[in-house]
Amino acid sequence: MKSAAVTPFENLFQYYKRLGEKAMDQVSDEALFHTPDQKSNSISVIVKHLHGNMLSRWTDFLTSDGEKEWRKRDEEFEETLTTRAQVLHLWEEGWKCLFDALHPLTEEDLKKVVYIRNMGQPAEEAILRQLAHYAYHVGQMVYLARMLNEGDWTSLTIPKNQSKQFNEERFGKERRMKDFTEDK
């Protein structure tokens, strides 16, 4: 039986996937490949890294080490993509691998030990580790997209100087149980 505990993970991963997509939607094709300086990565390189990480971590999630022998992590940080279509293809492929692995997990599966670079942890902790890692990189993407946006930026969270209105709208509703990821 599918675990109700997996659903919040799925919701949060979906939230960060949408956040990254909304950020990429607000920049030009050229901006996807802009590198601010030699120590930084472009949005496309971040997507390429997420893709490599997702395929490695989520392929055979419960049965093989999350750092696959076939992964070429260092190459993920080389700018080799040239089109938005390539970037979006890797983005979708990585997330599909994640959701295909995550969706069927059961409560019992969350307690199983999984390994990443030969270090064991309960599957639930490995999932949290990946959630934090992806949120970190999506945050980088959002920051870069915001800087590189050449038009009107549509806020992805509460717009600047609109916290009061946002809170008034929220507190104007009856208390309810609802996942915050369902609101935007």
Distance CA 167, CA 178 (A): 16
Q: What is the pLDDT of residue 112?
A: 97
The answer to whether residue 59 scores a pLDDT higher than 50 is yes
The answer to whether residue 155 scores a pLDDT higher than 70 is yes
The answer to whether residue 178 scores a pLDDT higher than 90 is no
- The answer regarding whether domain 6-155 maps to CATH 3.30.70.1150 reads no
Distance CA 29, CA 44 (A): 10
Q: What is the pLDDT of residue 184?
A: 47
Residue-range domain boundaries for the chain: 6-155
Structure tokens at 160: 């600047």
More confident of the two residues 96 and 165: 96
Question: Nearest-CA neighbor of 55 among 80, 73, 43, 38?
Answer: 73
* Measured torsion, CA atoms of residues 51, 56, 59, 60, in degrees rounded to the nearest 10: -160
The answer to whether residue 160 scores a pLDDT higher than 70 is yes
β-bridge partners, 113: 122
More confident of the two residues 181 and 25: 25
Give me the chain's average pLDDT, please.
93
The answer to whether residue 139 scores a pLDDT higher than 70 is yes
In tens, the pLDDT along 1-54 reads 556 667 889 999 999 999 999 999 999 999 999 999 999 999 999 999 999 999
Single-letter code of the amino acid located at 70: W
The answer to whether residue 161 scores a pLDDT higher than 50 is yes
